[in-house]
Structure 1
Amino acid sequence: MVDIREVPESDIDRALELAYLVFHDRPEKEARERHHDMLLHCTRIGAYDGDALVGFMAAHDFRLSVPGADLPCPGLTFVSVSPTHRRRGVLTSLMGEMLRRAGEAGSPIAALWASEAAIYGRFGYGSATQGVTIEIDSTRPLALRIEADRRPLRLVDTSDPEGAVAVIGPYHEAARATRAGRPTRGEWRWTEEWLTEQDEEDEELSPPRIIVLGEPGEPVAGYVLYRTKPEDDSGPTRTPGRVQVYELEADTPAVAAALWECLASLDLTGRVCAWGRPADDPLLHFAADRDQVRVTAAFPALWLRLVDVGAALTGRSWAAPVELVLELTDARLPANTGRFRLKAGPHGAAYEPADGQAPDLSLDVRELAACYLGGTRAVELVAAGLVAEHAPGAAAALDAGLRTALLAHTADEF
């Protein structure tokens, strides 16, 4: 029997050692110090077997953009169980305690990035956003179907991270409202995660670079955050220099076109790689040659959990009127289980018990979480046999209400 309790600051290094053991990691001193500093800012829960720390889970204190709102949302990270204590309910106990705390704190949702997709569905998490990896062959000029914005481009000095954040931070915060699924990014995450001198996963990459578009003295119209890697001709085949894009935000397609065009024209590089782009990235439409601009991977990104279904559904905006009786199951949080009438539309939403009423849709909280940000369609889950539709058109009606102009998306991995 393990004891689930708060992990004190004095045990942070023990928690990190457990995580490094579980994830087969050996970070350098600088990365370890950054992880330690990060956990100082997190809620920390541990599973103790006597004096031994055998399980650990931390949570960032985030807010997440949802359609029409910003909701408190703990972001789970460093989820670890010792190999000596697997399959003994340690993760279940840690997750139960974290969800209990989230509910008590008034957080209607929780989120994480899954190291293994098979794990978190059984705890009620659904894959709520998708990401794609895009590669551009930049050995030739980027061919575009639209005219790029010709206002000036300028470099931002990233040797002063706080100064760089002052330039692009407000733009990023405003952009969060345009797409659901984006967590807040405080000064610590900007300076210690996004603008660190060295990339933790690839030490050969350059320090971060930022290019912004817009007339000097006027508001930023868009920016790109990237690093570069020189060509490698030491092996039997030459590997061209690479531009690694971390984030690109733009007011208009023309601004985005100017930024992509600039990246593809950087000297001594032959490839632009962008991990974690939205599946509806405008580049995929305004690129003139899709052999030059290719999607090389697609993957589930942010996983979402509805902690308080009623608060989550009434806390977001709705694109179209919908009135349905939902029969919901939730094995971990029984208060979410039952039949409920959802009545929602552009002017608000209500969610009330509907005991004894015939359901229009029957589904698990995991499926509702996947649909919540509009990134997964209920009609597809009906077709997959994961949602039961009792009233014809009910799934399509739910989808119409949940629809967003842009697909939910984030590249903020935590």
Structure 2
Amino acid sequence: MVDIREVPEADIDRALELAYLVFHDRPEREGRERHHELLRHCLRIGAYDGDAIVGFMAAHDFRLSVPGADLSCPGLTFVCVSPTHRRRGVLTALMGEMLRRAASSGSPVAALWASESAIYGRFGYGSATQGATIEIDSSRPLALRIDADRRPLRLVDPKDAIAVVGPYHEAARATRAGRPARTSWRWTEEWLPEQDEEDEELSPPRIIALGEPAGPVAGYVLYRTKPESSEGGAASARTPGLVQVYELEADTPAVAAALWECVASLDLTGKVVAWGRPADDPLLHFAADRDQVRVTAVFPALWLRLVDVAAALTARAWAAPVELVLELADARVPANAGTFRLKAGPGGAGYEAAAGQAPDLTLDVRELAACYLGGTRAVELVAAALVAEHTAGAAAALDAGLRTALLPHTADEF
């Protein structure tokens, strides 16, 4: 029998050794120090077999943007179980303890990025946002269908980035659901470190902002570059210089066009790669040549868990009136399970028990979590036989209420 308890700071390095074992990782000293410091800022839960740590889980203390609100949301990370203790209920115990702590702290939702997506659905997590990888052939000028904003562009020193673009990012979070707030520590350690943890050949971070020098920032792009390389000196095997875009935020499509045009015209580069872009990125519409601008991957990004369904549904904004009876299953949080009447609209929402009433929809908390931010449509889950629709049009009505102007999205991997 393992003991589930909080991991003291003195045991952080031991917990990291378990994580490195499980994830087949062996970071250098600087990486270990960064991970240690990161975990100092997290809630840490461990599974102990005697004195040995055989399971571990940490959680960032996040605020997550949801439609019309900002909610407390633990962000799970470093989830791992020793190979000697697999299939013995260790992960289930860790997840249960984290859910109990989230509920007791008043967090209506929890989130994670899944290293293995097959695992987390059984704990009630649903894939709530998608990311897209976009590649631009920048060996020729970027062809656009709209005029780019011609206000000045300026380089921002990374030391000044938090002051210059930090407030812009914080304001932009409200326009898209699914985005964690960033502390100064996360800006410095996660987004602006001198060296990229996964690719040491990339340059230090570069930031270009658009806007009049004395005026507010209208958008910015954060990127790194890699020089042209070749294998064995053969000209035929040369790889063009790379621009790796980490983040691009813009007030308008014209501002976005100017920033994309800028990174696509950097000297000595021939390709721009932007990982984790929103699936509805305007670039995919205003690019004049979709052979030049291609989506090379689409993937599940943020996974969401509704810890307190009633609190989560009544906290968010609703785009249209909806009144439905939901029959909800939740194998991990019994208080969420049952039959409930949802009555919501632009004026607010109510959610109360409706025992004995015939449901309009029957679904698992996992599917409701996937739909919660507006990124997954209930009608698609009905078509996939994951949601049962008992009243014609019920799924479409739920979708109309959950709809957001922009798809939920985050590139804040954790």
Task: Provide the TM-score with structure 2 as the length reference.
Answer: 0.99
| Distance (Å, rounded) in 1 between the aligned partners of 2:243 and 2:275 | 11
Deviations 1:349-405 (A, max 9, x none): 000000010000000000000000000000000000000000000000000000000
Deviations 1:101-129 (A, max 9, x none): 00000000000000000000000000000
Matched with 1:222 is 219
Higher mean displacement: 27-36 or 169-178:
27-36
Q: Which of 199, 203, 206 is matched with 1:202 structurally?
A: 199
Across the two proteins, how many residue pairs are aligned to each other? 411
Name the amino acid aligned to 1:248: L
Give the SS at the match of 1:205: coil
Q: Unaligned 5+ residue runs, structure 2?
A: none
| Distance (Å, rounded) in 1 between the aligned partners of 2:230 and 2:48 | 51
What RMSD in Å do the two structures reach over aligned CA positions? 0.5
| Distance (Å, rounded) in 2 between the aligned partners of 1:178 and 1:274 | 20
Matched with 2:17 is 17
| Distance (Å, rounded) in 1 between the aligned partners of 2:219 and 2:145 | 19
Matched with 1:298 is 298
Give the SS at the match of 1:258: helix
Name the amino acid aligned to 1:183: P
The answer to whether residue 135 in structure 2 is matched with residue 135 in structure 1 is yes
How do residues 5-404 of structure 1 correspond to structure 2 at under 5 angstroms?
Answer: 5-158=5-158, 160=159, 163-235=160-232, 236=234, 237-404=237-404
Give the SS at the match of 2:4: strand
Shift of 1:146: 0.1
Name the amino acid aligned to 2:150: R
Name the amino acid aligned to 2:24: H
Give the SS at the match of 2:12: helix
Give the SS at the match of 1:412: coil
| Distance (Å, rounded) in 1 between the aligned partners of 2:65 and 2:157 | 29
Give the SS at the match of 2:161: helix
| Distance (Å, rounded) in 1 between the aligned partners of 2:99 and 2:198 | 31
| Distance (Å, rounded) in 2 between the aligned partners of 1:210 and 1:31 | 23
Give the SS at the match of 1:368: helix
Shift of 1:83: 0.5
Shift of 1:234: 3.0
Deviations 1:159-208 (A, max 9, x none): x2xx2210000000000000000011100000011000000000000000
Give the SS at the match of 2:165: helix
| Distance (Å, rounded) in 2 between the aligned partners of 1:174 and 1:31 | 31
Structure 1 outlier segments of 4+, above 6 Å: none
Task: Provide the TM-score with structure 1 as the length reference.
Answer: 0.99
| Distance (Å, rounded) in 2 between the aligned partners of 1:375 and 1:146 | 27
| Distance (Å, rounded) in 2 between the aligned partners of 1:328 and 1:233 | 57
Name the amino acid aligned to 1:250: A
| Distance (Å, rounded) in 2 between the aligned partners of 1:306 and 1:413 | 19
| Distance (Å, rounded) in 1 between the aligned partners of 2:34 and 2:340 | 45
Give the SS at the match of 1:21: helix
Question: How much identity, in percent, do the aligned residues show?
Answer: 86
Q: Unaligned 5+ residue runs, structure 1?
A: none
Deviations 1:12-54 (A, max 9, x none): 0001111011000111111111110010010000000000000
Give the SS at the match of 1:188: helix
| Distance (Å, rounded) in 2 between the aligned partners of 1:411 and 1:180 | 12
Shift of 1:217: 1.2
